[in-house]
Amino acid sequence: MENYKLPNHRAEQKRTRQPENILRDRFSMPAEALHLGKGRKYCIHTFGCQANVRDSETMAGILEKMEFAETDNDAEADVVIFNTCAIRKAAEDHVLGQIGEFKSLKKEYPEKIIALCGCMAQEDETVDRIIRTYPQVDLVFGTHNINVLPSFLVRMYKDHRRIVEVESIEGEVIEDLPVSRSSSSKGFVNIMYGCNKFCTYCIVPYTRGVERSRMPEEILKEIHKMMDEGRKEVILLGQNVNAYGKDLGMEDGFAELLESIAETGIPRIRFYTSHPRDYSASVIDVMHRYSNIMRSLHLPVQSGSNEVLKRMGRGYTVEQYKELFDALKRSIPDITFTTDLIVGFPSETDEQFQMTLDLVDYCQFDLAYTFIYSPRQKTPAAAMKDDVSMEVKNERLQELNRRITRYAKLNNEAFMHKTVKVLCEGPSKKNPDVLCGYSEENKLVNFTGSGVNEGDIVPVYIDTVRSFSLDGHVQTD
């Protein structure tokens, strides 16, 4: 019937090795798209991880180059984009619920273009469902064809026909993509795309393609531009940043890249996400030597049981994780740690869950993102036998969260009556009379003080401690 290009989950599943050549190209705007947005507005709804936040900033940059103006009002937007997440079922249900509500808006304004992109667009069953039951969605495109957005819109405005175009290629690297950043004090920079780890529970290697690194000079160019714009913090992004450069034939790519970024003199550098398995001693050494690399690390462990880690395909043991954790603490004594933990992985026993609690007691994380395992389409874990009831999984999650909160508060108490350096992000969303920002240790700090602007790094004296934030005032001596 229609000329749809659908995602091919099977093809993604068959990927076993690094392709010889990743297509590298530069973004160019088709001439007929240049003024298409004149007098029109766009609105983007972003779900999920920071990779999606960065992709939305790229789409915003592309649309603004086409002269679209931004709005946060769906009713007045000519183009509404849902940039979606597929990591857990709850994330997908949330998006589908919101799109459902657009049925009447689309009836009222039939000219409105409603687009769905991101990880859900890479799943064949999900796209099939959207085609059949969500006629209000006009445009579906995947994570690999964001750069084609101008051409999609040109076609849509020309013949008003639904477009479903999802590439299931291994992925390319497109440089010179426009960007409209959401913060003026900091910014995300992708250092690599995709993931080759294939943890058995995870959909990301299928939705985001093969691991592929950007060239160091392109990354540095983007960071220098951010510095010229007055930004103080760069957040390096990759599903597994420690694998940076492997596909470029670099021995110790991430350590080399991190050092060259630290040498630029940008005041703050963070990176997400680290995989314990690929963490090299030389990265610890670079972190130790450069004070502009922040003293906070997100190091997902997922479980405290070796048996569960094995079935998850994580490629390390609890002992190896602890060894890495201890080495980082020895080298950078004031470092803070956050992690990700999954409870209720198929057939996780009480004893195995207890081991996760024991690991939390050992590491005393500053914060942890905790999840109940959610089976994902065609991943190996989805076929595993599971005899744990949802009730038990929920109880485990609550017990784990209580433990995490206890350590979060305990760690924060160490900051009482101390001074931390905070990068001001402007007024707090909850209370506009108060400023907010993050300390070098990645603690959320709400504070008072006069004459402080977004982008300033200021000393803040902490006078109140909460479980997930610190309160204080700017120190004036």
Q: For ligand SF4, give the closer residue by CB, 202 or 255.
A: 202
In angstroms, give the least distance from the CB of 301 to ligand 5AD: 9
Per CB under 6 A, which region of 96-104, 327-335, 373-381, 392-400 contacts ligand 5AD?
Answer: 373-381
Task: Show Cβ contacts of residue 453 under 8 Å, excluding neighbours closer than 6 positions.
Answer: 424
Q: Say which entry of ligand 5AD, ligand SF4, none residue 342 contacts (CB below 5 to 8 A, set by partner kind).
A: ligand 5AD
Query: Binding marks (x or -) toward ligand SF4, 232..271, rule CB under 6 A?
Result: -------xx-------------------------------
Decide if 247 contacts 18 (C-beta within 8 A).
Answer: yes
Give me the phi and psi of 472, to 5 degrees please: -175, -170
Query: Binding marks (x or -) toward ligand 5AD, 329..348, rule CB under 6 A?
Result: -----------x-x------
- Number of chain residues interacting with ligand 5AD (CB under 6 A): 12
Q: For ligand SF4, give the closer residue by CB, 298 or 443.
A: 298
Distance between CA atoms of 143 and 181, rounded to whole angstroms? 19
Residue 199 within binding range of ligand SF4, rule CB under 6 A = yes
Residue 275 within binding range of ligand SF4, rule CB under 6 A = yes
In angstroms, give the least distance from the CB of 217 to ligand SF4: 26
Q: Say which entry of ligand 5AD, ligand SF4, none residue 197 contacts (CB below 5 to 8 A, set by partner kind).
A: ligand SF4
The residue number with the shortest CB distance to ligand 5AD is: 340
Return the residue of 7, 37, 150, 205 that touches ligand SF4, per CB under 6 A.
Answer: 205
Q: For ligand 5AD, give the closer residue by CB, 40 or 314.
A: 314
Residue 373 within binding range of ligand 5AD, rule CB under 6 A = yes
Instruction: Show the tokens assigned to 249.
Output: 């034939």
Q: Say which entry of ligand SF4, ligand 5AD, none residue 87 contacts (CB below 5 to 8 A, set by partner kind).
A: ligand 5AD
Q: For ligand SF4, give the closer residue by CB, 152 or 345.
A: 345
Q: Say which entry of ligand SF4, ligand 5AD, none residue 311 contacts (CB below 5 to 8 A, set by partner kind).
A: none
Return the residue of 82, 371, 438, 447 that touches ligand 5AD, per CB under 6 A.
Answer: 371
Could you give the dihedral angle defined by the CA atoms of residues 336, 446, 402 and 381, in that order, rounded to the nearest 10 degrees? -60
Instruction: Show the tokens assigned to 186.
Output: 């900091």
Residue 204 within binding range of ligand SF4, rule CB under 6 A = yes
Q: Beta strands of 85-199 (E only): which ranges?
A: 113-118, 139-141, 163-165, 172-175, 186-190, 192-193
Residue position matching structure tokens 């506009």: 432
Instruction: Show the tokens assigned to 318.
Output: 């609890």
Q: How far is CA 148 from the centre of its chain?
A: 22
Distance between CA atoms of 240 and 283, rounded to whole angstroms? 14
In angstroms, give the least distance from the CB of 87 to ligand 5AD: 5
Cis peptide before 273 (omega within 30 of 0): yes
Please spell the DSSP secondary structure of 294-348, one letter per residue: -SEEE---B-S-HHHHHHHT----HHHHHHHHHHHHHHSTT-EEEEEEEE--TT-
Helices 281-289, 318-331: inter-axial angle, 10-degree rounding: 20
Dihedral sign for Cα atoms in the order 387, 389, 394, 395: negative
Give me the phi and psi of 458, to 5 degrees please: -125, 150
- Residue 118 β-bridge partners: 84
Site for ligand 5AD in 71-110 (CB under 6 A): 87-88
Residue 376 within binding range of ligand 5AD, rule CB under 6 A = yes
Buried b (16+ CB within 10 A) or exposed e, 292-327: bbbbbbbbbbbbbbbebbebbebebebebbbebbee
Tell me the three state secondary structure of residue 92.
helix
Per CB under 6 A, which region of 144-152, 193-201, 329-337, 412-420 contacts ligand SF4?
Answer: 193-201
Q: Say which entry of ligand 5AD, ligand SF4, none residue 88 contacts (CB below 5 to 8 A, set by partner kind).
A: ligand 5AD
Return the residue of 127, 202, 335, 445 that touches ligand SF4, per CB under 6 A.
Answer: 202
Positions in the binding site for ligand SF4 (CB under 6 A): 195, 197-199, 202, 204-205, 239-240, 275
Positions in the binding site for ligand 5AD (CB under 6 A): 87-88, 201-202, 300, 302, 340, 342, 371, 373-374, 376
